[in-house]
Structure 1
């Protein structure tokens, strides 16, 4: 079959487009993989060994990305609220995982926008009326509240531990130190703090330590704001 000059003139452009589109379609991203906890084969000593073996067992053509040619790796493992792990996967890897026995769901990472709203007023917390919601709730006595956010600024008056009793003996968490955040940043109000940067860096590369802290310290303000609303000390200026 003959090809006209007009058709030939479009072939280089077509080839270029294919070169540009193919890598994009197979770029890896972070996925959250939920599993049936009891599905772990007995040959694996831990669930993490099972997860690692599962990733390794994927076909050779899907165990690397077209951009960096590095094997998929587990970023975090989860065993409290649910069981599973997070890892960087190609779309084909994610699809293959979904079909495996013991896999509940393979969920792509989502970026959430931080929102600061009228929460204090809406909840009736911004008031000097001692007969309000705070009194009804006994000021949150004996509650331990966990907040996943941008961090915390422990020097805020909201986290003063004045007149508080000892940390509950059932508390099993820890206060992880880091940049500008010694373990003494925690007290009987702020009883624990941790930071997690591996997931962010797996997607976005090394964090910018000129604007971010490699520690639980808050560089944004949203986490401090949220934590003070949820569990801050009751005080007025």
Structure 2
């Protein structure tokens, strides 16, 4: 829906009323998956193709797109890119914490061994849920997404398909 309108407070109720205008009596509040209202004006909603066409024709709708799930292309980026196994690391990394939001992490992966790592910065207050942190993985929490169920969800920050482990090891490096 674009920028936030000036002088009008965008609320979830506003988005609900728009969706209800299309769905009518078939409207179930859980159809509205998420209402975006902080940095832009928009919402995520579950619709049939016909309902989506009707929403797309409403005044104020700038663009619409269907959510798509993508599969990981590789879980071995280091080898895929062709980097050597030993790389000189910068001393500046000692106080760096990389945050990754993904489907989980597999702490037993070789990528997350903490050999040679000092403790995390003292100001860090992270913790690990369902496994023990080390000096490389300094926090891991499980969060439920905005109504998009994950196949085979185990209710844990542990990775079940390799994607989160791949992304975290790529972002944070192999150490």
Q: Quick one: distance in 2 between partners of 1:187 and 1:104?
A: 46
1:90 match? 48
- The runs of 5 or more residues in structure 2 that have no matched partner are none
Give the superposition deviation at 1:231. 1.0
* Residues 43-58 of structure 1 mapped to structure 2, 5 A cutoff: 47-58=11-22
Shift in alpha-carbon separation, 1:138–1:152, aligned structure 2, 3 A = same
Normalised by the length of structure 1, the TM-score is 0.54
Q: Verify: 1:196 aligned to 2:140, yes or no.
A: no
Please provide the CA RMSD for this pair. Answer: 3.9
Is the Cα contact below 8 Å between 1:75 and 1:85 reproduced in 2? yes
Normalised by the length of structure 2, the TM-score is 0.69
Q: Quick one: distance in 1 between partners of 2:121 and 2:172?
A: 15
Task: Give the paired residue count.
Answer: 171
Q: Quick one: distance in 1 between partners of 2:35 and 2:113?
A: 30
Give the superposition deviation at 1:52. 1.0
Q: Quick one: distance in 1 between partners of 2:94 and 2:62?
A: 36
2:100 match? 146
CA offset digits 1:10-55 (Å, max 9, x no partner): xxxxxxxxxxxxxxxxxxxxxxxxx22423884x6x5212111111
CA offset digits 1:124-170 (Å, max 9, x no partner): 6542242xxx44x954863634343x31123546164733313569x
* Bigger fraction of residues in strand: 1
SS at match of 1:86: strand
Is the Cα contact below 8 Å between 1:176 and 1:195 reproduced in 2? no
Shift in alpha-carbon separation, 1:82–1:152, aligned structure 2, 3 A = farther
- The runs of 5 or more residues in structure 1 that have no matched partner are 1-34, 202-206
Give the superposition deviation at 1:120. 1.0
Give the superposition deviation at 1:112. 1.0
* Bigger fraction of residues in helix: 1
Q: Verify: 1:214 aligned to 2:155, yes or no.
A: yes
Is the Cα contact below 8 Å between 1:98 and 1:105 reproduced in 2? yes
Is the Cα contact below 8 Å between 1:167 and 1:191 reproduced in 2? no
Q: Quick one: distance in 2 between partners of 1:187 and 1:155?
A: 13
